[in-house]
Amino acid sequence: MPPSVDDYGEASVELECSTNNDNRTAKPIIITSANSQGMKRRVSFSDKTDIRHIESTKSISKKERKTRWMMGKDFLRIKEDCDNEMMRIFNSQKPCMRTDLRGLELFDPESICRSRSKHRKVVNAVIRMQDKQSDKGGVNPESIREMYCYLVQDSQDDARAIAWIDREVVEDYMATTMTEFEKVQQRNQRMSQLKAGSSNKSKGTKPALRHRLLKSFRMPKKVPSN
């Protein structure tokens, strides 16, 4: 454990970091601390950053099919990762494996744990099948597809049931929303009709009003002179 401030008094930290394009190493981080008796302690950390080259998908897809197939060491690495995840699950009694759910699972702990366990079983089965096919030297994606469809049949049924429930909820919501929208449209149409009718009436009364005004303000006739 690192020394505490109570044991060594005040501590001074010096941080120097630089990046080199050749080896990409960082200079040590030096921590100097001194206690009340004047004793000094120095702790140095040396960190090295390794850059891993990741091949792009385009370059992989252009290669032959055999080179794109996973090798035995890849299957062993995946198996070790799964074993480590399972050991963490058993030790902590909690599902901590990282899985990507489809989005239609019920949002409660029991259903999520059940979905994750199904996901792990299917992934492990597919990996075992691929491992066997790679050992035999043949590739049969159709058999893997059939096995996958058979294993996920229960999950597909659950997803369809949840999707049907969601569909009913959406239909009820849309029906209520469309009813309110239609009411607003009808009210707007009535308002536009009333405005159009009032404007037509005002246009029709203007000539009659003008005639009455001209008639009331008609100039008197000229009286003939003798």
130 in Cβ contact with 75 (< 8 Å): yes
**pLDDT tens digits, residue range 118-163?**
777 888 888 888 888 877 777 788 888 888 888 888 778 877 887 7
Residue 160: phi and psi, rounded to 5, are -65, -40
Report the chain's terminal Cα–Cα distance, integer Å: 137
74 and 147 both lie in a single domain:
yes
Q: What gap in Å lies between CA 159 and CA 105, rounded to an integer?
A: 7
80 and 142 both lie in a single domain:
yes
Last residue of a domain, one of 151, 174, 204: 151
Tokens of 144: 């893997």
Residue 25: phi and psi, rounded to 5, are -110, 150
Last residue of a domain, one of 122, 151, 180: 151
8 in Cβ contact with 32 (< 8 Å): no
- Overall domain count for the chain: 2
For the full predicted model, state whether its pTM sits above 0.85. Answer: no
* Residues β-bridged to residue 14: 30
Q: Would you state the pLDDT for residue 18?
A: 40
75 and 112 both lie in a single domain:
yes
Is 134 part of any domain? yes
Q: Would you state the pLDDT for residue 225?
A: 56
Q: Would you state the pLDDT for residue 27?
A: 47
Tokens of 102: 């489809």
Is 188 part of any domain? no
86 and 134 both lie in a single domain:
yes
Q: Radius of gyration of the chain from Cα atoms?
A: 41
29 and 84 both lie in a single domain:
no
Is 166 part of any domain? no
148 in Cβ contact with 126 (< 8 Å): yes
Last residue of a domain, one of 110, 127, 151: 151
92 and 144 both lie in a single domain:
yes
Give the CA angle between residues 35, 38, 41 to the nearest 5°. 60
Q: What gap in Å lies between CA 77 and CA 85, rounded to an integer?
A: 12
89 and 133 both lie in a single domain:
yes
Q: Which domain holds residue 107?
A: 70-151
Q: Would you state the pLDDT for residue 149?
A: 82
Q: Would you state the pLDDT for residue 181?
A: 73
CB count in 10 Å sphere of residue 124: 13
Query: Residue-wise pLDDT tens for the chain (226 aa)?
Result: 444 433 434 434 343 434 444 444 444 444 444 555 555 555 555 555 555 566 666 666 566 555 555 566 666 776 677 666 666 655 655 554 444 444 445 555 566 667 777 777 888 888 888 888 877 777 788 888 888 888 888 778 877 887 788 788 877 777 777 777 777 788 888 888 777 766 655 555 555 555 555 555 455 555 555 5
| Burial group, residue 53, by CB count within 10 angstroms (0-12, 13-18, 19+) | exposed
Residue type, 52: R
